[in-house]
Structure 1
Amino acid sequence: MKVQLALLIVAEAFMPGNERMENNIVKKHFSYKVASLVLSGLLCPLCYGDDSVIIVTADKTEQRLEDVPGSISTFSGDELERQNIEDLETLARKTPSFSFQSTGQSGFNPPVVRGLTSYATAFSSSMLMVVDGVPTLANQGFENSLVGVERVEVLRGPQSALYGKNAEGGVLNIYTRQPDNAPRMHLDGELGSRNKHVVRLDAAHPLIEDTLYIGVAGQFREQDGFIHDRYNGSWADDRKSYDGRAVIRWTPDDKSDISLRYSHLNYRDGASLWGSVSAPRYEVSSGTPGWNRSEGETVSLDIAHHFDSGISLRSITAKTDYYDKLKQDSDFMPAERFFMQRDYHLSNLSQELRLSGEQEEARWLIGIYADKTDNDLSFTNKTPLKVKTTNSALEGSSLSLFGQWLQPITDEWSLTLGGRIEHDQIEIKPKDSSAKSQRWQQFSPKVSLQYRWMPEQNLYLSYSEGFRAGGYDPFASTVNYPAYSPEKVRSYETGIKGLIAPIHLRYSVAAYYMQINDMQVQQFVAPGVTSITNAATAHSSGLEASLEYWLNEQWSVDGTIGLNRTRFERYRDGNNDYDGNKNPYAPDLTWHIGVRYDADNWYANASLDSVGSIYLDPANKYRRGSYQLLNMSASYPVNQHITLSAYAQNVTNKHYDAVGFMNGNVTVYSPPRELGMRVSYEF
């Protein structure tokens, strides 16, 4: 006990100057901390585990993870690699109340967070993805490589006060590694099931020491499919993709940091993971070959400058383009009777400018954001009677002003006030009709009250509002392309979180209730014609918890759970009454548990991830059952440069097909078990 008290006193003495307020709190509550250690009975003579402070930028300013008054999960780049997390869907399974809709198509991944979902034809998602400050506003292109990533932050709950439209359910923030004076190179090759081969690279090098640096990252992936096409005797769903990213960073002095980034993503896939609901599993007989030729690219300029006054400036200018190009058989028969084809070009030009600083003990932020969107959309639907192609252009613009003020009230209490006023305009230009436009103005407030009841232990209450952008349904030509309004969410949340370093435990628990108004849903607007309308209201409530616990120097465990109940309060679709039904694609339960063992010269992971059952339609007629996936991986460093790794995903070969997709006509197949090995070289 004396040794541990001495360690606490020494740690307190060497606290950085910018943590003086925290230091005062430590002094005030030191006796309580000692008492908690004695009561725990878990004191140990040696320190172990990852008790380090985690810094996040959830509120667009740097904060310790435990100080953020909201629900947030973080993953470092090392964690992603060690847990073999290669894509966003795998990452979501380790995050409470976060999943993706089952589409079976690369590059098209509608997110589901706290029961909030969106439709494919809405061209706006229920969660915002932000990569190095650049937003992705639609479900198309909601995918990003995790090669060369510094960290990922998953914010749950409405975030529109700082992030604007389409952050009604949360924000997925991805931060890539920045090059600096330290040269680095990480190169690995991977072989796996179904002739899978992957090559990845993450490298950086200074061009001029302390001034100019360059970094590159990317990967090439190729793998045979698992759906047998009996018509031509081949695999229908082969996968092939490559992505790359480059950054040039310039630091002319110790106060300026300028980065020019470029990224590119390209798919050369076969068909979607689709099949007939009545055919044998993993078999089709498609006379119409399916393919996915989608690609995207982003160019951005990121400027940061710190003035002598203590004020910081941040400017992010970006241009993104995503080309969603896909053809898919939808009856899986030799005759070419039914198929669908998309040819979309989604373009967005955005600019964000913000200032942040401190006023005595308070911290503030103010900013302005503007964007311009141009979407050219062509959709073809083939039936035995006709081929119908709809061509439209959607053009939109946004202008918003946002700000936040964090005010300490006492050593224990603090108050955060934030808000955003946003003006959105959208215009549809159909090829076969006259143009129409709509305007909306939204105010999204945020209020949170935080109580630090012990050092690094926080309790918070918050109220926030969020919204998903309104628009036009570009494919409802028979009813003259009706408009729909923004979907609005009001959220009430309370939570407790903290880091108990002496017993090596990091935890968080949150409970929330959300009221959803003007819900964007599909509705029959004419006989045989559906369109997106604001025809429903709903509520969502839930409980989330996560923990990380280090048992000793070798063993650690982590776990998450998300309980959610999202139900329609009122939803009428013609003669159909969906009151009380579940929102499609929203699971009531998600959970994850992981175990990790670190030896002196190797490590191993095992995790069990579970996603509850979902319905695929508002009538709750078609369903995908709950499932659990067991994943395992291990790594052995041969020397300081070379590491050998092996992994097994879906060890038990669990089937979790979505039967009844596309109004009961399609099964979206789940991938089978996958085994693989990887060789990594690093210096």
Structure 2
Amino acid sequence: MKSAWLMGVSVWAISGGLAAAQSTVALPKDNTAIAEIVVTAQKRAENLQDVPVSVTALTADTLSARGVNNVLALNNIAPGMRISANDAAANPKIYIRGVGLSDFNPNASSGVGVYVDGVYIGSPLAQMAGFYDLAQVEVLRGPQGTLYGRNTNGGAINVTTKRPSQSFSADASVEYASFNAKTVEAAVGGPIVADKLAFRAAGQWVKDDGYTYNRVTGHDVNAADHWAGRLSLLYTPADNFEMLTQVSRYVNRGDAIAPQHRALFPSTAAATGPNGLCAPSAYASGACADLLGYADTDNNSRALDANLEGKDKVDLFGASNQATWTFNGMQLVSVTAWQWAHRNDLENTDGSPAQMLEINYRSRQRQFTQELRLQSDNPSGLLNWVLGGYFMDETVQDNTRQDTLRDLRPLFVTPDNPTGLSLENSVAVFGWPYTQKTKGYAIFGQADYELTDKLTGTVGLRWSADDKHMNYRSQVEDGLFVLLTSDQKKTFSAFSGRLGLRYAVSDDTNLYATYNRGYKSGGFFGGLATTPEEVEPYDNETLDAYEVGLKSEFLDRRVRLNVSGFYYDYKNQQVFAQALRNGLTVLVLDNAANSKVYGGEAEITARPIQPLTLTAGISLLHAKFGEYFSEGQDYSGNRLPQSPKVTFNTSAAWVAPLANGASIVANIDANYSSKVYFDNSNAERLSQDAVWIAGAQVSWRSPDQKIEAGAFARNLFDKSYVVSISNIDSLGEDLLSMNRPRSLGVFLRYHY
């Protein structure tokens, strides 16, 4: 390691902005102590400061103050976490400490697991939904292979919704903002049978007019339009038993992503860069064009030319049942869940007015999961333990169609070829229908034992196996020609585990050192393939993580400081990369590299005086490929995609009481990300330079805390930057997904 071990900042966790202020409002007026935060990172309720894991816990009020209504809005709120997307309503690209995956195919699995109320959301089609009526979001950094299982070698996002209670409550929120954006959320709950059965019903509706102007049609595009609902029932017939049953639905009918177009083929020597593609200075000059001669030359990132305005239609359904029996100092927990996801996304993939590349993504996924845990129920005992088993049955069906170079068909029309099909020139509709079936199994256990009054040891082990069956075909013109067929089965199994020590220096300070092994299951590529080699199964990737950390509170709990340093040995890394096949740019997934990742984080929360809460978090990251060659290119030593060297976030919240008992609440927040590469090549054109983003919110709260009204600004200084880039060199273009512009709005919230 060349660079110094970095300190890790994991404190934002707990309070953050408005949340911190609200969580401490009930304290005595002379009490400036920071409120305790309870997390379930280890499958049981614990004080965040006692958990030997890097965890950031975001309360519902923090999320509300930041305008978080989907997983993308969590980007950079926790140190070391980056989230982006090239799609409107599916397939978020989630990275923690440089570990993740950019594969957007529906059978792919990220290296960061997403869990909602204990249920694993395995499908990337379903990970953008469900962010409403939340109690808390926990971001667990580092491998979570013991208690959470496969596909969590980067970490996990643990979402908890608000539970039913025996007290009647109602919540409502209305928000109006720029681009005619409307967000309405409501929830109501209370007893059905006193002390036995309670309910909570919650819903969300989001709609706006879009923030990008289409010069071809005169319409605004990139518009949002989705709704969601959730019904929860909590059954408590006895003191030692409870059952939480939930049913949820999500429907998206918003626009498909409409990216910015950047032409790459130069027409003059002066416009040619050293790599033979367009020089950066000539991107909007008119001296560069794509394969069909189009170029966007106005340098306006909020306008484009698109012949097709598609919709990203996503339908989700979920049902779950979590039952907990408590007996003889133990708990038996059963979590059963059923989910399905349907997607039909028609997009103008080339981002131009020509019919050069248009893709219709059509996918279906269904999943049944069952987890059974037997665990101790004695937090103050010498030994805390959990034993469990897990089963998953998943089917993914995909029938995506890619219409390539349709505008060139007239050149190939003959009496014998009236459609103008030219397979040798990639002028065709390509499809790759497949069905992948997976049955997953796991058994696991973890124990924490107090070796002394101050020293606690942890040991955990998990064995997992996935039986996968992939039936795949790639074809042309809906089966007129079949390019490839494949029917393969393979079992991918692995051990993951955890070893750790936690030393209580004092009641307010803990030191910990851990070793964790995580893994991401191998599988089969789910994109367009034309050769047998492309559909050969790829292997598991593994990550051995070593971490040391400090969790502390001092100055009478006015300051909370959490730091950590880590080192990862990342092997058989699954890499999503570009390749050229028969003159067409395609994407492939393979075990292509090993990497060394190290760095650190730190989070701090401070409450110097009662009305003011300050938070900050920083991540310093070294994440580079080891030896890595792809398609004849040497990428050894390049930075991992989506892995900025430095990220930083900060916020301040001020609660000013008024004479009549009401209060004024002011929040400001900012975050920073250093330069990010979007591609393994680390090409400068496929990167985004460092960027700062700021936001603010001010509100008035009634004396009884039931009503809050205010105004907000998100992306306060209207920064314009790239969140993701898809490069299609063979067609002479890059497709740039841009951030949302500045949003100014007002809101009204009610709580009873």
Q: Shared fold by TM > 0.5? A: yes
Helix, strand or coil at the partner of 2:376: strand
Query: Which residue number in structure 2 is paired with residue 11 of structure 1?
Result: none
- Equivalent residue in structure 2 for 1:521, among 566, 570, 575: 575
Query: Which residue number in structure 2 is paired with residue 14 of structure 1?
Result: none
- Does the CA-based 8 Å contact 1:451-1:459 persist in structure 2? yes
Relative contact order, CA 8 A, sep 6+: which one is greater?
A: 2
- Equivalent residue in structure 2 for 1:627, among 668, 677, 691: 691
- Equivalent residue in structure 2 for 1:636, among 700, 708, 711: 700
Deviation for aligned residue 1:62: 2.0
Q: Does 1:425 align with 2:464?
A: no
Query: Which residue number in structure 2 is paired with residue 656 of structure 1?
Result: 721
The alignment's C-alpha RMSD in Å is 1.8
Query: Which residue number in structure 2 is paired with residue 21 of structure 1?
Result: none
Q: Any residues of structure 2 matched to 1:430-579 within 5 Å, and which?
A: 430-431=472-473, 433-480=485-532, 481-500=535-554, 502-523=556-577, 524=579, 530-579=587-636
- Does the CA-based 8 Å contact 1:51-1:501 persist in structure 2? no
Q: Does 1:124 align with 2:181?
A: no
Q: Does 1:590 align with 2:647?
A: yes
- Does the CA-based 8 Å contact 1:104-1:274 persist in structure 2? no
- Equivalent residue in structure 2 for 1:377, among 383, 393, 398: 398
- Equivalent residue in structure 2 for 1:56, among 12, 30, 39: 39
Deviation for aligned residue 1:358: 5.8
CA separation in 1, counterparts of 2:451 and 2:29?
37
Mark the CA change 1:501 to 1:246 in structure 2 (over 3 Å): closer, same or farther: farther
Deviation for aligned residue 1:147: 2.0
Deviation for aligned residue 1:56: 1.2
Letter in 2 for 1:492: Y
CA separation in 1, counterparts of 2:738 and 2:568?
32
Mark the CA change 1:174 to 1:652 in structure 2 (over 3 Å): closer, same or farther: same
CA separation in 1, counterparts of 2:527 and 2:76?
33
Deviation for aligned residue 1:503: 4.6
CA separation in 1, counterparts of 2:341 and 2:695?
32
Deviation for aligned residue 1:239: 1.1
CA separation in 2, counterparts of 1:434 and 1:377?
15
- Equivalent residue in structure 1 for 2:358, among 334, 339, 342: 339
Q: With the length of structure 2 as denominator, give the TM-score of the two structures.
A: 0.82
- Equivalent residue in structure 2 for 1:95, among 71, 78, 94: 78
Task: For residues 334-360 of structure 1, give each alpha carbon's deviation from its aligned partner in whole angstroms, at most 9, with x where no partner exists.
Answer: 332321111111211100000111685
Letter in 2 for 1:662: N
Query: Which residue number in structure 1 is paired with residue 319 of structure 2?
Result: 299
Letter in 1 for 2:344: K
Helix, strand or coil at the partner of 1:72: strand
Task: For residues 34-61 of structure 1, give each alpha carbon's deviation from its aligned partner in whole angstroms, at most 9, with x where no partner exists.
Answer: xxxxxxxxxxx97433533322111112
- Equivalent residue in structure 2 for 1:404, among 423, 446, 460: 446
CA separation in 2, counterparts of 1:378 and 1:625?
37
Task: For residues 164-223 of structure 1, give each alpha carbon's deviation from its aligned partner in whole angstroms, at most 9, with x where no partner exists.
Answer: 111101010011111111110011211110111111102111111100111011110111
- Does the CA-based 8 Å contact 1:125-1:138 persist in structure 2? no
- Does the CA-based 8 Å contact 2:675-2:687 persist in structure 1? yes
Provide the aligned length of Structure 1 versus Structure 2: 638
Q: Any residues of structure 2 matched to 1:169-208 within 5 Å, and which?
A: 169-208=154-193
CA separation in 1, counterparts of 2:368 and 2:725?
38
Helix, strand or coil at the partner of 2:309: coil
- Equivalent residue in structure 2 for 1:319, among 302, 319, 338: 338
Query: Which residue number in structure 1 is paired with residue 455 of structure 2?
Result: 413
Deviation for aligned residue 1:660: 4.3
Q: Does 1:212 align with 2:197?
A: yes
Mark the CA change 1:389 to 1:72 in structure 2 (over 3 Å): closer, same or farther: same
Letter in 2 for 1:291: K
Task: For residues 137-156 of structure 1, give each alpha carbon's deviation from its aligned partner in whole angstroms, at most 9, with x where no partner exists.
Answer: 24332223332111111100
Of 283-292 and 615-624, more deviation after overlay is shown by 283-292
Of 634-643 and 312-321, more deviation after overlay is shown by 634-643
Mark the CA change 1:103 to 1:333 in structure 2 (over 3 Å): closer, same or farther: closer
Letter in 2 for 1:362: L
Q: Does 1:605 align with 2:667?
A: yes
CA separation in 1, counterparts of 2:148 and 2:576?
26
CA separation in 2, counterparts of 1:403 and 1:678?
46
Query: Which residue number in structure 2 is paired with residue 31 of structure 1?
Result: none
- Does the CA-based 8 Å contact 1:536-1:569 persist in structure 2? yes
CA separation in 2, counterparts of 1:380 and 1:248?
41
Q: Does 1:646 align with 2:711?
A: yes
Mark the CA change 1:495 to 1:412 in structure 2 (over 3 Å): closer, same or farther: same
Helix, strand or coil at the partner of 2:442: strand
- Structure 2: 5+ residue stretches without partners: 1-27, 264-295, 406-426, 474-483, 658-662
- Equivalent residue in structure 2 for 1:231, among 207, 212, 216: 216
Deviation for aligned residue 1:530: 4.3
CA separation in 2, counterparts of 1:404 and 1:84?
37
Mark the CA change 1:527 to 1:456 in structure 2 (over 3 Å): closer, same or farther: farther
- Does the CA-based 8 Å contact 1:555-1:597 persist in structure 2? yes
Q: With the length of structure 1 as denominator, give the TM-score of the two structures.
A: 0.90
Deviation for aligned residue 1:478: 1.4
Of 266-275 and 546-555, more deviation after overlay is shown by 266-275
